[in-house]
Amino acid sequence: MGLRPPHYSHLLENKTQVDWFEIISENYMMEGGRPLAVLDKLREKYPIVMHGVSLSIGSTDKIDFDYLKKLRRLAERIQPAWITDHLCWTGFGGHNAHDLLPLPYTEEAVANTVERIEKVQDFLGRSIGLENVSSYIEYRHATMPEWEFLTEVANRADCGILLDVNNIYVSSVNHRFDPSTYIQNVPADRVWQYHLAGHSDYGDYLLDTHDHPIIDPVWKLYHETIRTIGLRSTLIEWDDHIPEFSVLEAEAEQARGYAKTAA
Amino acid sequence: MQKQPLKKVHEIFWKLITAPEGVEEGLRQFPEIQIEDWFKGDEKLSPTRRLNIYANMYFWRIHDAIKEDYPEVFEKIGEKNWNNLMTDYLLRHPSDTPYLQYVGKYLPIFLKESPLSQKWPELYDLALLEWEKAMLFEAKEASTISIEDLQKIDIAKWPHLRFEFVPAFKLIETSKKDCIRIWRKDHAVFHKIISKEESVALNEALAKKPFSDICEKIGDAEKAARFLADWVEGGLIQKMLL
């Protein structure tokens, strides 16, 4: 489950069925305050995974070592099971879009991203995992499909993959590819974790909004994913219109149900 | 399709999605570019519309994040003015931080120069207070001293006492020269407009001047002791130094 502020009080006061929590790293990379205090408390009871949104691993800007120092400090504090971010870029010229922007799937982008991942992994002293993002546009000069790009980057940088099943579904509709082809071509031994989430349907395209329940086609794709790649820790993401914790627990239970039938 | 250098791809993408009037207007910066040569589209969604999805997400995500930090400023000026303010603000201060919660840090000073401040002269002070309060929510934790700790100090040593304040404390001055102290206690943030005398005493204390200097500066030892007791009870002081 993703750890989000509206659930802090509930989680501190109640026992849950949750196996582990994922945090948005940047929301805890500060000196103090309630979020960190809550995180410290929950860390005593649950394993934690750190998931960032601002690493900008595919950027052409300089690596932000000040950001990495804070990330490392947080990792030292909470000892996460693993650290992940996104296979994308988030800014240009020292400025940040606070969005997950798609990379062109080219050899140059592979080489640039791999070089940066290696530097980040050296700095953090551990491997990182990268998540495939939802996308709404493709580059004309791309020379490979997204799954090949993801595979090439992960293999050459020796890093993990956080496979977001909803993102595959969203991109497959937006760019008209077969999501099963994606699943079948991901290197299973590199997949550390799955993400599941809801999205919004705008008619002409799907938008990855994390503010709706997971739809049936995504559950179906998840089932296919765990049968093809295998069982992995699975996270349900909600970032907007966050419902009661019990709704999230029910979705997590549904994921467990799929896992049982695939085992 | 001709190979495009990654840096150039990022630059074009960035300039198009951050163009204040949208991607089509942004494209005018690049007359040499045929957008279909760079980005794919189809009969449902042209490349321009696809890029506009990113342009909208760029603007609205930051817009909403800054609104969370400045709820009273938003309430005062209303949605339409806020939307225009955010457009202008992002042009002047595109995010220079990986942390979404800090993108609005320049808003108080930006508002000072904004035409909105002619209609609402209090905007700068309001924004400054909201920002400083937001920042105190995440200041470093520190243990604090109690009145009992203070009482244990030998009276003869009081003139030499100096004080270290907690990180979750800030003294700000408004445009009308009012002083406001802001502090956090038990994860709640408080603020109080204080007297000129208390602000003088606080500034002395913050400069680590001894208690005797504080008394001398405000010319009233009893009052200085009352201020000190108030600061201690509020959880503002983490250490006494002798």
Nearest CA-CA partner of B166 in A73, A213, A33, A97: A33
Nearest CA-CA partner of A23 in A87, A82, A102: A82
pLDDT for the residue numbered B136: 96
pLDDT average, residue stretch A205-212: 92
Q: Which domain holds residue B180?
A: 147-241
* B115 and B18 belong to one structural domain: yes
Contact B103 A98 (CB under 8 A): yes
Per DSSP, helices labelled H in chain A are 8-13, 34-43, 65-78, 107-124, 146-157, 165-175, 179-184, 216-228, 245-262
* B76 and B125 belong to one structural domain: yes
pLDDT average, residue stretch A226-230: 96
Contact B37 A176 (CB under 8 A): no
* B130 and B214 belong to one structural domain: no
pLDDT for the residue numbered B3: 76
Q: For the CA atoms of B64, A86, A30, A33, what is the dihedral angle to 10 degrees?
A: 60
* B25 and B132 belong to one structural domain: yes
Nearest CA-CA partner of A109 in A66, A138, A67, A136: A138
Q: Half-sphere exposure of residue A41, counting CA atoms within 13 Å on the CB side?
A: 14
Residue B133 CA, chain-centre distance (Å), reads 8
Stronger pLDDT, A145 or A247, i.e. the higher one: A145
CB contacts of B53 in chain A (<8 Å) are: 136-137, 205, 207
Confidence of residue B12 (pLDDT cuts 50, 70, 90): very high
pLDDT exceeds 70 at position A6 = yes
B76-92 exposure pattern, b = at least 16 Cβ within 10 A, e = fewer = bbeeebbeebbeebbee
pLDDT exceeds 70 at position A93 = yes
C-alpha–C-alpha distance, residues A132 and A195, integer Å: 10
What's the DSSP call for residue B104? G
According to DSSP, the residues that pair with A206 across neighbouring strands are A201
In a domain, B164, yes or no: yes
* B119 and B37 belong to one structural domain: yes
In a domain, B15, yes or no: yes
In a domain, B141, yes or no: no
Run of H or E residues at A85: strand A83-86
pLDDT exceeds 70 at position A205 = yes
Q: What is the ipTM of this complex?
A: 0.95
Confidence of residue B1 (pLDDT cuts 50, 70, 90): low
pLDDT exceeds 80 at position B105 = yes
The CATH number of residue B158's host domain is 3.90.930.40
**Domain annotation for chain A: domains and CATH numbers:** 5-262 (3.20.20.150)
* B98 and B180 belong to one structural domain: no
CB contacts of B61 in chain A (<8 Å) are: 98-99
In a domain, B142, yes or no: no
pLDDT average, residue stretch B177-189: 93
* B129 and B151 belong to one structural domain: no
Run of H or E residues at A206: strand A206-207
Contact A101 B38 (CB under 8 A): no
Confidence of residue B167 (pLDDT cuts 50, 70, 90): very high
Per DSSP, helices labelled H in chain B are 6-17, 23-27, 35-38, 47-69, 71-92, 107-112, 116-119, 123-136, 147-151, 196-206, 211-218, 221-233
pLDDT average, residue stretch A154-161: 98
* B120 and B183 belong to one structural domain: no
* B163 and B83 belong to one structural domain: no
pLDDT for the residue numbered A262: 77
CB contacts of A37 in chain B (<8 Å) are: 141, 187
In a domain, B19, yes or no: yes
For helices B123-136 and B71-92, the axis angle rounded to 10 degrees is 90
Question: Which domain-ending residue is among B136, B162, B195?
Answer: B136
| Burial of A203 per CB tally in 10 Å (0-12, 13-18, 19+) | exposed
Confidence of residue A236 (pLDDT cuts 50, 70, 90): very high
In a domain, B199, yes or no: yes
Question: Which domain-ending residue is among B102, B136, B170?
Answer: B136
Indicate which of A92, A171, A207 best probes the interface with B, i.e. most B CBs within 10 Å of its own CB. Answer: A92
pLDDT average, residue stretch A21-42: 96
Q: Which of residues 61-80 of A touch B (CB under 8 A)?
A: 64, 67
In a domain, B1, yes or no: no
Number of CB pairs, chain A paired with chain B, less than 8 A apart: 130
Nearest to A31 among B49, B100, B139 (CB): B139
Give how many domains chain B has, as a whole number. 2
What confidence tens digit (pLDDT) does each residue in B66-101 have? Answer: 999 999 999 999 999 999 999 999 999 999 999 999
Question: Which domain-ending residue is among B72, B103, B136?
Answer: B136
* B173 and B112 belong to one structural domain: no
According to DSSP, the residues that pair with A236 across neighbouring strands are A196
What confidence tens digit (pLDDT) does each residue in B110-151 have? Answer: 999 999 999 999 999 999 999 999 999 999 999 999 999 999
A161-to-A109, A131, A172, A189, B212 alpha-carbon distances in Å: 17, 6, 18, 9, 63
* B105 and B185 belong to one structural domain: no
Mean pLDDT of chain A: 96
Confidence of residue B2 (pLDDT cuts 50, 70, 90): low
Q: Half-sphere exposure of residue A251, counting CA atoms within 13 Å on the CB side?
A: 25
pLDDT for the residue numbered A17: 87
Q: For the CA atoms of A60, A66, A72, A75, what is the dihedral angle to 10 degrees?
A: -100
In a domain, B218, yes or no: yes
What confidence tens digit (pLDDT) does each residue in A43-76 have? Answer: 999 999 999 999 999 999 999 999 999 999 999 9
Contact B2 A54 (CB under 8 A): no
According to DSSP, the residues that pair with B181 across neighbouring strands are B171, B192
Pairing mode, if any, of strands A48-51 and B162-165? unpaired
* B172 and B153 belong to one structural domain: yes
Q: Give the rounded percent of residues in chain A with a pLDDT score beyond 70.
A: 100
